[in-house]
């Protein structure tokens, strides 16, 4: 698969996309590897998505922009989701997702067509929190980008409303029981309308989430409920202070899912952090003018820190 993309004021750069798999845990993650044409062993950025999302939900748009700038991109789907391996399906786990990130890094470090010594990570939403956590544990990385990041489970639970969180306790207990007795997981919606039980039910959550799904792509809008306590206690933003490399935080000032005040406070602790604020909402970062602005800023950041070219 060969494409080209406009690269700022430069002529369009062609790139290819390879369908690949890499091993993680007991199974594999499916991914797309974008390689810029005419660039020998380019640096590479690894991209991971948010809550229950798969790479088809606009990770390709960002990966294409980076590839057009001469940076290889690996966009992957977590185990148990999409076309990646693992059973039971829709089983989300913070620990396993972080292991998927580690496996993706191991894969690109050993891939002969990219420069495994020049790697960055890029994560969005829940994946944005993972990007902080991963960067804090991998000082060999050259750069990191954390987009509309999930930084504090308690703050996000408060944004959802503690009353709404309490309503989900019965389904959580039912799912734990299902796990104990070897039954299929009990599911909870990822995104739903306001007032409906879900991981996200802000006014823009369901419409915004569904807008990311490409036409003809079958998407499953639920996950096993047992992950909810993990999400509530996951606080990756606290690791920002331990991130040694340059890290760009792209924060939505109108975010309904990840409270921006808490995100900015935590991001400010990163020794080499850069914070950019955008008025677009949490789910608007992937589309239209907001995407164009973000992709431009992020490409400039990666070009500077992976290619040594200032814009």
Q: Tell me: the pLDDT tens digits for 90-134?
A: 999 999 999 999 999 999 999 999 999 999 999 999 999 999 999
pTM above 0.85, yes or no: yes
Q: What is the pLDDT at residue 163?
A: 63
Secondary structure (DSSP) of 224-265: EGGGHHHHHH--GGGGGGG--S-EEEEEETT-SSS-HHHHHH
Relative to beta strand 72-76, strand 44-48 is parallel
243-293 confidence digits (pLDDT tens): 999 999 999 999 988 999 999 999 999 999 999 999 999 999 999 999 999
Q: What is the pLDDT at residue 252?
A: 97
The class level of CATH for 2-153+235-306 reads: alpha beta
Q: What is the pLDDT at residue 166?
A: 72
pLDDT at 7 over 50: no
Backbone torsions φ then ψ of 212, nearest 5 degrees: -85, -10
Give the pLDDT band of residue 160 (cuts 50, 70, 90).
Answer: low
Q: What is the mean pLDDT of residues 301-307?
A: 97
Q: What is the pLDDT at residue 12?
A: 55
Q: What is the pLDDT at residue 69?
A: 96
pLDDT at 4 over 60: no
Backbone torsions φ then ψ of 43, nearest 5 degrees: -65, 170
Mean pLDDT for all residues in the chain: 93
Q: What is the mean pLDDT of residues 148-158?
A: 86
Task: Please give the C-alpha separations between residue 289 and each of 47, 99, 279, 285, 306, in angstroms, as whole numbers.
Answer: 21, 34, 11, 9, 25
Q: What is the pLDDT at residue 191?
A: 95
């Amino acid at each position: 698969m060969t494409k080209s993309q406009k690269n700022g004021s430069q002529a369009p750069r062609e790139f290819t996309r390879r369908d690949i798999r890499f091993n993680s845990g007991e199974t594999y993650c499916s991914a797309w590897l974008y390689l810029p044409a005419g660039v020998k062993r380019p640096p590479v950025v690894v991209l991971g998505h948010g809550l229950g999302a798969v790479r088809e939900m606009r990770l390709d748009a960002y990966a294409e922009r980076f590839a057009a700038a001469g940076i290889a991109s690996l966009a992957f789907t977590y185990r148990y989701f999409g076309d990646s391996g693992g059973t039971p399906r829709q089983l989300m786990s913070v620990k396993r997702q972080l292991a998927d990130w580690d496996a993706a890094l191991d894969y690109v470090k050993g891939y002969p067509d990219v420069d495994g010594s020049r790697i960055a990570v890029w994560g969005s939403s829940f994946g944005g929190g993972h990007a902080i956590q991963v960067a804090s544990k991998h000082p060999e990385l050259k750069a990191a980008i954390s987009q509309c990041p999930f930084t504090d489970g308690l703050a996000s639970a408060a944004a959802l409303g503690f009353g709404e969180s309490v309503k989900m306790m019965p389904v959580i207990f039912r799912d734990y029981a299902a796990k104990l007795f070897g039954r299929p997981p009990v599911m909870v919606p990822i995104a739903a309308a306001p007032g409906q039980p879900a991981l996200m039910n802000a006014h823009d959550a369901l419409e915004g989430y569904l807008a990311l799904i490409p036409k003809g792509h079958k998407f499953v809008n639920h996950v096993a409920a047992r992950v909810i306590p993990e999400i509530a206690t996951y606080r990756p933003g606290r690791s920002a202070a331990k991130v040694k490399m340059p890290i760009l935080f792209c924060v939505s000032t109108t975010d309904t899912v990840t409270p921006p005040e808490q995100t900015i406070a935590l991001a400010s602790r990163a020794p080499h952090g850069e914070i950019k604020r955008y008025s677009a909402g949490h789910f608007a970062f992937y589309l239209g003018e907001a995407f164009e602005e973000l992709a431009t800023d992020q490409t400039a950041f990666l070009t500077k820190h992976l290619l040594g070219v200032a814009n």
